[in-house]
Structure 1
Amino acid sequence: MEKLVSSWFNDRPLPQSYIFPPDTRPGNHIIPGCSTIPVVDLGKASGCDRTGIVQQILEASREFGFFQVINHGVLESLVNDTMNVFKEFFELPAEDKVGVYSEDPKQPCRLYTGSPNYDSEKIHLWRDNLKHPCHPLEECIKIWPQKPTRYRETVATYSIEAKKLGLRILELVSEGLGLSSGFFGDKLSESVLLSVNHYPPCPDPSLTLGVSKHCDPNLLTILHQGDVYGLQVYKDDNWIGVEPLHNAFVVNIGYQLQV
């Protein structure tokens, strides 16, 4: 538990084990925001503009592998409530997190710091992460955090709506690819994994990273960026910042869907 960044970040300067080599650290570079990351209005997908929305998603997936969705059908009040629940969880005293914290990467519900390879890596990520499965919901919910008391009810509702959104996007993708309706349903998309990153204030963010560059192995990642500027996409040998949009989700096309 003492390894969690959120347990000690106020007490000492940035440890050497969190300082990345000069060629991989962010430094003081300002990554420009990019307004060209496509924004898809899913509210138009149920009308005469459906074909255009399908093509917009396909083009964004091919060119960027990313796009943002607005008018996605997930209530803003639910999103805000869920983000507040996550915030409350990370603000809990250490003794209330003991049942969730684990250094065993095989634990299905796990709170840990850095990365799953913390014990074997030389440089650690500046983050705490809470991760757990959401399917089948009636079974998974039993291993979720019990505090704050509204965690399970709120996150269950949120996970259901997030899955509906993912299936809706996959249906539009399959339509654009000429695949049968429901092609990505059933076993291909039934698994839902929730991952919540918590980045405490850092004494020197120019020397460390919250998340390293990576590709997602799954079908889709649906990310709530909130109003925090920090997500970056690598395109044409350059990193570009993804501008946070109010009540939008960022959609990342994973390796499985690329294949």
Structure 2
Amino acid sequence: AKVVGEAARGIGFFILVNTGIDEELMNDSLRLTREIHSDPNVRFPLAFSAESLIGFQRMGMSSAARAFNRLNTGEPKVDHIQSFMVGPDDEERCKRLARPSMAGVWPEGTQAARAFREKSIEYAREMEALSLDVRALLALSAGLDRRTFITPVKECAGLFRYSFYPPVGEAEDPCAGKPGFAHLAGHTDLGSCTLLIVDRPGLEIVKDGEWRAPPLVQGGVYVNC
């Protein structure tokens, strides 16, 4: 807890390993994410909106990175990202939270799309359970009762987002390949903490006023708090 506290207060970022999340489930989810975003036969019935906060977000749509940007990095504020936002799959829970149901939202049309739904439900549950452990760890690192950050938001479902960064050339963005280019603009995350799964280089964080790439840890969960 002491090490986590130092990292959280210092740069607001640390990496968890041996989290108990099944690595095969993690890898399958990442693989299926790439497949559904790359296959033109996959259909996305519902587009993401500020009202629903779930569904498919097409590349070029308004995003949190632009809307809530807090860092004056000088980089282009154009995002090249597609994503799929997953909400609670439990109908009763959706009613309690006054959140839209995932019914009619999941991608369709291919076997990969069907498998994506099954894996996503399981994966989201595991990540939500891990988020409770992370909140407890953050509380302990601050010398507080472990339930401090859990009890007030116990029934609040977080946002579970699959992000896909397609290749970008000069036809899509004249800044592609040039210094300062980024698929996703520099930003400050929403919420108390963000849990990230990273399977390839690209993620960067600000430390001592400079953008730096954290080490790529297989099976690691990156926490931004």
Instruction: Give the TM-score normalised by structure 2.
Output: 0.76
1:163 to 97, 116, 128: 128
**Structure 1 residues 65 and 123, CA, compared in 2 at 3 Å: closer, same or farther?**
closer
Q: Report the counterpart of residue 195 of structure 2 in structure 1.
A: 222
Structure 2 equivalent of residue 124 of structure 1: 78
Q: Distance in 2 between matches of 1:205 and 1:136?
A: 43
- Give the match for residue 249 of structure 1: 221
Query: What are the equivalent positions in structure 2 for 1:127-138 lying under 5 Å apart?
Result: 127-134=81-88
**Aligned partner letter, 2:79:** L
Q: How does 1:56-75 map to 2 (within 5 A)?
A: 56-75=3-22
Unaligned runs of 5+ in 2: 68-75, 95-100, 170-175
Counterpart secondary structure, 1:142: coil
Does structure 1 residue 153 correspond to structure 2 residue 114?
no
Using the TM superposition, give the Cα deviation of residue 130 of structure 1 relative to its aligned residue in structure 2, in angstroms: 1.8
Cα deviation for residue 214 of structure 1 reads 0.6
Q: Give 1:123 deviation, angstroms.
A: 5.9
Distance 1:192 1:135 in 2: 12
Whether 2:166 is the aligned partner of 1:200: answer: yes
Distance 1:105 1:179, change over 3 A: same
Contact 2:81 2:183 in 1 (8 A): yes
Cα-Cα RMSD: 2.6
- Structure 1 Cα separation of the partners of residues 33 and 130 of structure 2: 20
Partners of 2:83 and 2:145 lie apart in 1 by: 37
- Alignment pair present for 1:108 and 2:70: no
C-alpha contact (below 8 Å) 1:82/1:158 kept by paired residues: yes
Tell me what 1:55 maps to.
2
Shift of 1:117: 5.8
Displacement of 1:107: 3.1
Matched, 1:191 2:157: yes
Superposition pairs of residues 82-97 of structure 1, within 5 angstroms: 82-93=29-40, 96-97=42-43
Q: Does 1:175 align with 2:140?
A: yes
Q: Write the deviation string for residues 101-128 of structure 1: whole angstroms up to 9, x where unpaired.
A: 35x432332322234269x999631221
Identity of aligned residues (%): 20
Match of 1:231 in 2: 203
How far off its partner does 1:231 sit?
Answer: 0.8
Whether contact under 8 Å (2:81, 2:164) holds in the other structure is: yes
**Aligned-partner SS, 2:114:** coil
Q: Report the TM-score, using the length of structure 1 for normalisation.
A: 0.67
Structure 1's unaligned 5+ residue stretches are 1-53, 254-259
* Partner AA of 1:251 in structure 2: V
Write the distance in 1 (CA, Å) between the matches of 2:132 and 2:44: 35
Q: CA deviation at 1:211?
A: 0.8
- Counterparts of 2:9 and 2:117, CA distance in 1: 37
Deviation at 1:143, TM superposition (A): 4.4
Aligned to 1:42: none
Letter in 2 for 1:62: R
Task: Give the number of equivalent residue pairs.
Answer: 196
